[in-house]
Structure 1
């Protein structure tokens, strides 16, 4: 018996509880889709969506962290072709829904209209997720929101200004004083 067979059998005996067991048993067969071209207008549009989700407050917002550009890279480099299609079509659906509700493109809405619109869309995405069947496509707005949060909080701005950043912690100190409203550590 070779090592690969032994690992597969152990994984099967453990009931597949081993981390990454599907990758070990079947091999990694996931491929990303073909990279799509993104225009500067696409990136600006995604920046506006992201900045509505995480606006500028006492810290810079998602647009300052260039989350729109981050989204395009992640969609091209990490998403399968069907998910890329859901995301791209979702950009169009979002704009069409804004047009239907406000007779204007999303990018031309007031900040209050954008917030109201995306709040309703977030509720729609949550309802969709509750009722979705196994293997169904994700809701496009959930994808946008997740990428916004990931892009922002892994950016320099999100990590150092929206959170308390300790680049090189000295030692573990489990008794750090916390006051309500303090930022989280990174």
Structure 2
């Protein structure tokens, strides 16, 4: 097939035009479909305390120091669909109301031992649920929160450099890095 100059220019214009217009169209669509956050700002202290109970501060800062509530909110909003978000939000709300009913105080202002006891019960519940669930059933909300807390903490600067020993590994691999019993684990 012979291509005339006119056809070539029209094809080229169409090709170049789509490379300029397509990203703008996609950006406009993305802006309209932006998700609203899974949790509101008032929920973040509760999420921080849940994270702090899972990874408490010792001589190393805990999960609250890395603003785990904001991380959980971002991950739940961006990575989970509406039914999973609803289950996580309902689970967090139930945790707060159960804690208030049981200990007559808020989870955020409550005693560390009481928070730990309640989360240990939730952990046992999620383990039992996970052991009996089918592949089609969703993960237990508390398991998701625990996994995201661990991910967020160890992905943060504090978690990667203070909780574990960070070894930058752009160079060669050294499988015989010195390690003494009691040293922090490696992270790279």
Shorter-chain TM-score category? 0.7 to 0.9
Task: Supply the distance in 2 between the matched residues of 1:117 and 1:136 (Cα, whole angstroms).
Answer: 24
Deviation (angstroms), 1:34 = 4.1
Deviations 1:114-169 (CA, angstroms, capped at 9, x unpaired): 11111111111111111123312221111111110000000111011111112355
What SS does the corresponding residue of 1:88 show, helix, strand or coil? helix
Deviation (angstroms), 1:33 = 9.6
Tell me which protein shows more helix as a share of its residues: 2
1:131 aligns with 2:132: yes
1:49 aligns with 2:50: yes
Task: Supply the distance in 1 between the matched residues of 2:164 and 2:82 (Cα, whole angstroms).
Answer: 34
Task: Supply the distance in 1 between the matched residues of 2:110 and 2:128 (Cα, whole angstroms).
Answer: 25
Match of 2:177 in 1: 176
Task: Supply the distance in 2 between the matched residues of 1:127 and 1:179 (Cα, whole angstroms).
Answer: 37
Matched length: 155
Task: Supply the distance in 1 between the matched residues of 2:150 and 2:115 (Cα, whole angstroms).
Answer: 17
Deviation (angstroms), 1:44 = 1.0
Match of 1:39 in 2: 40
Deviation (angstroms), 1:66 = 0.9
Asked whether the 8 Å contact 1:47–1:63 carries over to 2, the reply is yes
Moved more, 169-178 or 148-157: 169-178
1:120 aligns with 2:103: no
CA RMSD of aligned residues (A): 1.9
After TM superposition, the structure 1 = structure 2 runs for residues 93-104 of structure 1, keeping only pairs within 5 Å, are 93-104=94-105
Task: Supply the distance in 2 between the matched residues of 1:146 and 1:57 (Cα, whole angstroms).
Answer: 20
After TM superposition, the structure 1 = structure 2 runs for residues 133-152 of structure 1, keeping only pairs within 5 Å, are 133-152=134-153
Task: Supply the distance in 2 between the matched residues of 1:158 and 1:125 (Cα, whole angstroms).
Answer: 25
Match of 1:162 in 2: 163
Asked whether the 8 Å contact 2:37–2:74 carries over to 1, the reply is no
TM-score scaled by structure 1?
0.77
Deviation (angstroms), 1:97 = 1.9
Gaps of 5+ in 1: 1-31
Match of 1:69 in 2: 70
Deviation (angstroms), 1:93 = 1.1
